[in-house]
Structure 1
Amino acid sequence: MAVRTAPGKWPVLGHTPAMLRRRFAFTSALREHGDLVRLYLGAKPIYFVTTPELTHQVLVTDGSAFEKGAMFDKFRPFVGNGIVISSGAFHLRQRRLIQPAFHRERIAHYAATMRAAVERLTGSWRPGQVREINDDMQALAVTITGEALFGTEFGTAAIEQARESIPIVIRHGMIRALSPAFVEKLLMRGNRQFDNAVVRMRAVVLDLIARWRAEDTDRGDLLSMLLMARDDGGDGMTDDQAYDEVVTLLSAGIETSALALAWLFHEISQHPDVEARLHAELDEVLDGQPVTGDHVPRLTYTRQVINETLRMYPIWILMRRTTSEVDLAGATIPPGTEVTISPHALHFDPRSFPHPDRFDPDRWSARRADSVLRGAFVPFGAGNRQCVGNAFALTEMVVTIATVAARWRLVPVPDRPLRVKYTSTAYPARLSMSVVPRT
C-alpha cells in the first residue's frame, strides 16, 4: 500500500476554548489520505498511522521494534528514566519490578484507601454548595495516588508536596514537550514554577526513600514494594531509579484519573438517562453499603460509562520511534523514524464507533464491545507499553463514582459555563457544579 503525503503543515496547538473535535480535527482528517500518512516537521518525515490494525501492529505486534518518540524525550530531563520514558532491557527490568505492586489483590486492598479519600472529600460538601469539580478531582487523584504510594503514617509531607507540585509538573511539562527547546530557558514565571516544583518534589521523595531504607520495613504501600523488589540478579532499584518511578506514577496516575472523573461527572449531568441508569445500578449492587473492591466487577454499567468517557476524552497523540526496520502498510520504515498515533482520531473514527460525537455507554455493552477492533480503543496504550497502573486507575474511577453518586448529584451551574483549555488533551479549566443530595 502506498504511503500518502498529506498537504499542509503541522498545526499550531493553542489554548482557545473550542469544541474538542474541532480542535483536534487535523489528525482525524488524516484518515482521508490513507492508512499510513507521511508529514514533515521541517525536512524530517513523520508517519501517522490512521487505522486500528496499524495501531495494533505498532503498539503490540511489532511493539519491540519501537521506543518512545520525540515528545517523550522532552520529558526525560525532569521526569527521569521512569517506566513511561525508558526503553529496551532497562524498561523491561523496571516493568517486571513494578508489576507486582499492581496485582489485582493489591488493588483490591487499595480500594478501601480510595473510598476513604473520596468520603473525606464529599464529607466536606454541603447541599447546594458550588464546587469546582475539576479542582476537586485533581486534589482527590493526588490524595489517592499519594496515599497508595507513600502510606498515610509516614507519607504526609510527600503527599502534601505532591498536591502542590505535581499539577505544576504536569501542566508545564506538557507545554515544554510541545514547545521548541528554547522556551524552557526563558525567564518566565511558568518556568520558575516548574523548576522549583521539580526541586521540591525530588527533595521530599528522596528523603522518604532514605527513611524507608533506614527502617527497612514493609509498610504496605507502593513505595515499599518498589524498594523491596529485586530482579533476577538480586538487585533492586537505586534511589534515583525509585524516584523516577515515583514521579512517573504520580504524574501519569493523577492526570488520567482526574481528567476522566471530571469529564464523566460533566457528561452524566448532560444525560439524565445515563445518570438514572448509573444510580439504579449503584443502588442495586451496593444496597446502601460502602463500595468495596468486591463490588467493582459487578458495576458493569458504571464501567461502561467510564469507558465511554475515556473514549471521548483521550490524549491527542502518542509518539513512537523505530529501533529497527519495520514494514507498515507495505512501506519500509527505517530505524530512527518517528511514527505517530492519535488516540483521539481513533476514538472518533465512525468506522469503529458509529455516531462518535454521541455519548453512548451502551457501545461498551458485552454484545457491542466485542465488535470493537483491536487498536481502535487505546486509552492506556497497549502491548509492552500499556500503562502499568491501568487497573488501579479504573478501580479508582469506579470507587469514586460509586461513593459520590450514592449520595450526591452534581448539577451544572447555569451562570458559570464550562471553560476548556487544550494541550495534549482537553482540560476542564472551570467545571462549576452544584452538589445536590440524592433523595
Structure 2
Amino acid sequence: MPVPVAPGRLPVLGHTMPMLRRRYAFTASLRNWGDIVRVDLGTMRTYFVTNPRLVHELLVTKGSSFRKGALFDKFQPIFGNGLATSNGVFHRRQRRMVRPAFSGERLALHAGTMARAAAGLAATWRPGEVRAVEEDAQALAVTVVGEALFSTEMGERAVEEVRRSIFTVLKHGMVRAVSPSFVEKLPLRGNREFDGAIRRLRRIVLDVVRGWREDGADRGDLLSMLLMAQDADTGAGMSDEQVHDEVMTLLVGGIETTALALAWTFHELAAHPAVERRVHDEVDEVLGGRTPTFADTRKLTYLNQVVDEVLRKYPVWFLMRRALAPVELGGVVLPEGAEVIFSPHALHHDPASFEDPHRFDPDRWSPERAATIPRGAFVPFGLGARQCVGHLFARTEILVVAATVAARWRLVPVPGKPVRVKFTSAAYPSGMLMTAVPRN
C-alpha cells in the first residue's frame, strides 16, 4: 500500500544553493539518501527522485499525472507558451501539429543543410590554425537551425539577429529562472542585456512570420511547416504569437544542445586517440569521401556510440515536474502541487547504472552492454510525452557534422591550454583551443 508523506517519512535536506560546481556534487550525492529525498530549497519544498526506475515512472508510466514544474513557470513569461513550457491539452495539440516538421522525410532534407554548413565551416580552416572550438560549434549550430527555420531574405536577417542575441539569452536565462523574481527587476547589466536580446528576437521573428503570411508559399523550412500546420480535430492553425513561441523554443533548444554536444565530441575524440581512429576508419569506410546523408547516420554505428557517450557525460543539470493531484511514486504519496526534481547529470553518472561513470567509454553503448542499462538511466532529451520533439533533428545534426569534419580534419588540443568549464544549466566549455590538422 502507498504510504502518505508524513514528517520524517523521507530524508529531509536543507540546501542554500552554494557554488555551481558544488551543486552538481550535491545532486549526485542525493542517491545516497534514498530513491526520493525531500529537499527544501529556501521556502520551496521539493522531492528529488534519484532512482532511474522511478524517473521512468515519473516521465512515462505516470507522466500524465505531472506537468512542468516551477523552473518552467519562470521560463514561460520569457519564451512564451511553446512546447517546452506549455501543459495539458494545449501541449498535446501543439505537439501533434509540430511533430510533422521533424518527420524522416524532412530530416533527410535538413541533413543536407547540416552537411553543407559543416563543410562550409571546415573549408575556412587552415592547416595549423588554432580554433576556439566551442565558438565554431556555437556558430555552426546557429547556422543550421537558422537555415532550417528560415529560408527567405527576411529569414537571413533573422539568422543574423539570432547570431547576435541567442547566446545572451542562453547565458542569462538559467540565472533568471533560478533567481528570486525581484532580481530580474534590478538595474543590472545582465538584466538589460537579456531583456534587450529577447525584445530583438521577438521583433524579428514576428516580422518573418507576418512576411510569410503575406507570401503564403511552402518554402520547405520549419517555419513553413509551423505556419501550415492544422489541428486534426478543428482544422485551426497557429496564431502568429504561437508560432513565435514555438520558434523561440526551437532556437533555444536546438542551438544549445547541439553546440555543447559538438564541442565536447571534438574534445573527447582528441583526448582518446583510439576512439578517434575508430571514428575515422568508420567514416572513411561508410562515406568513401562523399558528403554524409540522413541514411548514412544509421550506418555510422560506432559514431552513434560516441554521440551517446557524449550525451551521457554532458547532459543538463536538472529538470522539474509538478504533481497535478496526489500521486504514488516509489511507495510514497506525493501531494498535489508537489515539485519533483530529477537530474539527468546525476542519473548519467550513477555507478549503479554505468560502470566507471566518469570515464569516456563509447563501447558501453554496444548492443550487448546497452541492453543492461536500466530504463530511466539515460535521459538526454527526456522521455515520454514530454520528450524533446526535435531530439532526432539534434542527433542527426551532431552525427552529420561530426562525420563531415572527421572526414577532413583532426583537432588537436593546444598544449598548456586546458579547457575551462562553466557550470550553469549544463557544462559549458570555455577556451577549448584546438589546432586544425588535415587528415590527408
Q: Which residue of 2 aligns with 1:78?
A: 78
Matched letter for residue 363 of structure 2:
D
Q: Which residue of 2 aligns with 1:380?
A: 381
Structure 1 residue 379, shift from structure 2 partner = 0.1
In structure 2, distance between residues paired with 1:189 and 1:23: 25
Q: Which residue of 1 aligns with 2:284?
A: 283
CA displacement 1:36-87 (0-9 Å, x = unmatched)? 1111123442101111110001101111111111111111111001100000
Structure 1 residue 350, shift from structure 2 partner = 0.6
Q: Is the 8 A contact 1:70 1:319 kept in 2?
A: yes
In structure 1, distance between residues paired with 2:44 and 2:109: 48
Structure 1 residue 294, shift from structure 2 partner = 1.6
TM-score by length of 1: 0.96
SS of residue paired to 2:15: coil
Q: Which residue of 2 aligns with 1:9?
A: 15
Structure 1 pair 321–13 and aligned structure 2 pair: CA distance change class (3 A): farther
Aligned length: 433
Identity %: 58
In structure 2, distance between residues paired with 1:299 and 1:153: 35
Q: Which residue of 1 aligns with 2:101?
A: 101
Matched letter for residue 115 of structure 2:
R
Structure 1 residue 152, shift from structure 2 partner = 5.5
Structure 1 residue 12, shift from structure 2 partner = 2.2
Q: Which residue of 2 aligns with 1:122?
A: 122
Matched letter for residue 296 of structure 2:
H
In structure 2, distance between residues paired with 1:404 and 1:111: 14
Q: Which residue of 2 aligns with 1:38?
A: 38
Matched letter for residue 4 of structure 1:
L
Q: Counterparts in 2 of 1:13-412, with a 5 A limit?
A: 13-14=19-20, 24-151=24-151, 153-231=153-231, 232-412=233-413
Q: Is the 8 A contact 1:53 1:375 kept in 2?
A: yes
CA displacement 1:4-45 (0-9 Å, x = unmatched)? 32444243243xxx6xxx651111111111111111123442
In structure 1, distance between residues paired with 2:245 and 2:28: 34
Q: Is the 8 A contact 2:16 2:42 kept in 1?
A: no
Matched letter for residue 197 of structure 1:
A
RMSD: 1.3
TM-score by length of 2: 0.96
Matched letter for residue 417 of structure 1:
P
CA displacement 1:188-215 (0-9 Å, x = unmatched)? 1111111111111111111111111011
Structure 1 residue 123, shift from structure 2 partner = 1.0
In structure 2, distance between residues paired with 1:263 and 1:162: 22
In structure 2, distance between residues paired with 1:110 and 1:49: 37
Matched letter for residue 322 of structure 2:
R
Matched letter for residue 301 of structure 2:
T
In structure 1, distance between residues paired with 2:183 and 2:248: 23
Q: Is the 8 A contact 2:305 2:362 kept in 1?
A: yes
Structure 1 pair 81–286 and aligned structure 2 pair: CA distance change class (3 A): same
Q: Is the 8 A contact 1:11 1:26 kept in 2?
A: no
Q: Is the 8 A contact 2:13 2:38 kept in 1?
A: no
Q: Is the 8 A contact 2:11 2:34 kept in 1?
A: no
In structure 1, distance between residues paired with 2:291 and 2:235: 41
Q: Is the 8 A contact 2:137 2:262 kept in 1?
A: yes
In structure 1, distance between residues paired with 2:429 and 2:100: 34
Matched letter for residue 24 of structure 1:
Y
In structure 1, distance between residues paired with 2:245 and 2:395: 23
In structure 2, distance between residues paired with 1:4 and 1:31: 13
SS of residue paired to 1:24: helix
In structure 1, distance between residues paired with 2:235 and 2:166: 32
Q: Is the 8 A contact 2:270 2:411 kept in 1?
A: yes
In structure 1, distance between residues paired with 2:47 and 2:23: 21
Gaps of 5+ in 2: 4-8
Q: Is the 8 A contact 2:421 2:427 kept in 1?
A: yes
Structure 1 pair 367–239 and aligned structure 2 pair: CA distance change class (3 A): same
Q: Is the 8 A contact 2:14 2:41 kept in 1?
A: no
Structure 1 runs (4+) greater than 3 angstroms displaced = none
In structure 1, distance between residues paired with 2:289 and 2:152: 27
Gaps of 5+ in 1: none
